[in-house]
Amino acid sequence: NAGVTQTPKFQVLKTGQSMTLQCAQDMNHNSMYWYRQDPGMGLRLIYYSASEGTTDKGEVPNGYNVSRLNKREFSLRLESAAPSQTSVYFCASSEGGRTEQYFGPGTRLTVT
Residues engaged in binding other proteins (CB under 8 A): 31, 40-43, 45, 48, 50, 58, 90, 92, 94, 96-98, 100-106
Residue closer to other proteins, measured from CB, 19 or 50: 50
Please report how close the Cβ of residue 46 comes to other proteins at its closest, in angstroms. Answer: 12
**What is the C-alpha separation between 34 and 26, in angstroms, rounded?**
16
Please report how close the Cβ of residue 16 comes to other proteins at its closest, in angstroms. Answer: 29
Phi-psi region of 30 (alpha: psi -120 to 50; beta: other; left: phi over 0): alpha
Residues 6+ away with beta carbon under 8 Å from 98: none
Please report how close the Cβ of residue 76 comes to other proteins at its closest, in angstroms. Answer: 16
Residue closer to other proteins, measured from CB, 56 or 79: 56
